[in-house]
Structure 1
Amino acid sequence: MSNIKAIRRKTTAIERLLRVALYLVLISVAAIYLLPFIVMLITSLKDVEEIRTGTLLSLPASLHFDSWSKAWSSACTGSTCDGISPFFLNSFQIVIPAVIISTVLGAINGYVISMWKFRGSDLFFAALLIGCFIPFQVILLPMARTLGWLGIANTTTGLVFVHVVYGVAFTTLFFRNFYQSVPGELVKAARLDGAGFFTIFYRIILPISTPIIVVTVIWQFTQIWNDFLFGVAFSGFDTQPVTVALNNLVNTSFGGKEYNVDMAAAIMAALPTLIVYVLAGKYFVRGLTAGAVKG
């Protein structure tokens, strides 16, 4: 008995050491991953002189928040702005409707392709799948001509249209793969009870789609908010998203380069996506494991 207890104690001690070692490795990896953000935050809290004379990881001698207020400034002269605040609203005006529309269209497309087969449905899905792999640069010229023909060039409406068109292929793929795991007998039984296309979708399919809706919303929000190419190609000065405004701020300087202002602006521009992932990250993982990558 004493030998068994000794072996158990040794096993427990080894397990604790392994657990401690695992946590140390995870903390180290997290620290390395967060190092760029830490550098940005430290730099944003220094004044310009301290940035020039100090080291990259040195803590600020005193906290300076002037760079944050300047980065957020809404003062605009001509075709330049001192801050990014005027363009935050533009990004939200683009992201919110584009995410909603592309999610709804993706849900309906995925529902039709997976549960209401029609002649050419597989070909339609293959075309959408090919759309996921078309490079952004390929569609710049035809999309610019289309926006001009529709009369929505250089507007937030035009950018919403672009992101919906490009994003609906991804959302359809997500929903289609998720709905493949839904029993077909469920839809057949509803048909026998007299339920129609939209009744089945609204009362049966949509209530069980919460996991994949969360995945799609997070995916689309992140892609659209962080987009730069479409924003710089299809927007005017008054309709630029925050990513384009950030680029203009970083590449425009009068006198000396203010790295603290650039870092503060970059952090503020990234905050919405960070908040979305912090609040809904676990639901994103659950949605993926619930069927978003099956089928």
Structure 2
Amino acid sequence: MTSAAIRREPAFGPRTARVGLYAFLVVSAVFFLLPLLLVIMNSLKPMEEIRQGNLLALPINPNFDAWVSAWQSACTGLECAGIRPGLWNSIKITVPSVVISTLAGALNGYALAQWKSRHANMIMLLVTVGLFVPYQAMLYPTVKILSNVGLFRTYLGIVFVHVIYGLPYTTLLFRNFYVGVPDEISRAARMEGASFLRTFWSIILPISTNILVVVAILQFTGIWNDYLLGLIFAGNDNLPMTVQLTNIVSNARGAANPNVNMAAALITAIPTLVVYFLSGRYFVRGIAAGAVKG
């Protein structure tokens, strides 16, 4: 028996495996992108085409009338100013909340990573437990606390809520990252006379780009897409876009306009998509570099 006869090709070679992988990726992409494609298609249709009942059909006369209406004239209750007022509210709520919660989480995580004590592990355990407490269980006491200090349904109140609710999550991520940073870096800084805060600000933060990007993106997405906390704590003058969107979709005045609803949903989602497109490679790089290792 020749060696050629003994050597057999595997039933599934590299080419077959590659084709199967690409097929799986294509099917997965279609599965996740099809709903988004349908929303975009129907947001470009006039109501005459929507009433025909075929949501899967391509728009015959596409236009951006529904987008214009969703942006500046759709009714969000008693007011018909579209979703535009909620954009600035979402920006002024999200940006400081992300910055403060990220920096505070970095400082807490670094302190817990440097504190070599069993008490540090106990505090970290309590912080981790805080991650599993649902928001609904903390709403009433939070409302009472903010009411007593005069911050309920104010701008400062909603920023404070997002920062406090985000601290357990950001602290855990930063602590897990800083545990892997060599202690020699902090020791060298202390030998040069640097204080704890100076070491953190001048040495530790500059080498924390990966985790900073990961945490900032996660916090931005969570805060921007938040509905419950914004509805309860923001107040009528600071309602974010998510609350405005819900008011447009559930508005009982006049006939329902699905094309306007879909356009409003896309406008609300655009900022998070832009953030991911602009910083997606840094996010992936941070994940690959172990920014969320534990």
Taking structure 1 as the reference length, the TM-score comes to: 0.90
Look up the match of 2:97. Answer: 98
Look up the match of 2:282. Answer: 283
CA distance in 1, matches of 2:280, 2:224: 17
CA distance in 2, matches of 1:67, 1:75: 9
Tell me whether 75-84 or 19-28 shows the greater mean CA deviation: 75-84
Look up the match of 2:68. Answer: 69
CA distance in 2, matches of 1:91, 1:255: 27
Q: Is the 8 A contact 1:39 1:57 kept in 2?
A: yes
| Residue identity opposite 2:173 in structure 1 | F
| Residue identity opposite 2:186 in structure 1 | V
Partner SS for 2:289: helix
Q: Is the 8 A contact 1:106 1:168 kept in 2?
A: yes
Look up the match of 1:124. Answer: 123
CA distance in 1, matches of 2:152, 2:164: 15
CA drift of 1:74 comes to 5.6
Q: Is the 8 A contact 1:181 1:291 kept in 2?
A: no
Q: Is the 8 A contact 2:75 2:248 kept in 1?
A: no
CA distance in 1, matches of 2:175, 2:270: 31
CA drift of 1:40 comes to 0.5
CA distance in 1, matches of 2:76, 2:121: 53
Tell me whether 105-114 or 236-245 shows the greater mean CA deviation: 236-245
Q: Please tell me the root mean square deviation across aligned C-alpha atoms, in Å.
A: 2.3
| Residue identity opposite 2:22 in structure 1 | Y
Deviations 1:102-161 (A, max 9, x none): 011001001100013467322222221111111010111111111112212212221100
Q: Is the 8 A contact 1:232 1:240 kept in 2?
A: yes
| Residue identity opposite 1:208 in structure 2 | I
Q: Is the 8 A contact 1:74 1:86 kept in 2?
A: no
Partner SS for 1:111: helix
CA distance in 2, matches of 1:149, 1:82: 33
Partner SS for 1:256: coil
Q: Is the 8 A contact 1:178 1:212 kept in 2?
A: yes
| Residue identity opposite 2:147 in structure 1 | G
Look up the match of 2:59. Answer: 60
4+ aligned runs moved over 6 Å, structure 1: 75-78
CA distance in 2, matches of 1:255, 1:200: 61
Taking structure 2 as the reference length, the TM-score comes to: 0.91
Look up the match of 1:233. Answer: 232
Partner SS for 1:291: coil
Deviations 1:10-39 (A, max 9, x none): 99xx64554344323212210110111111
Q: Which blocks of at least 5 consecutive residues in structure 2 are unaligned?
A: none
The number of residues matched between the two structures is: 288
Q: Is the 8 A contact 2:44 2:63 kept in 1?
A: yes
Query: What pairs up with 1:80-229 in 2 under 5 angstroms?
Result: 80-117=79-116, 120-229=119-228
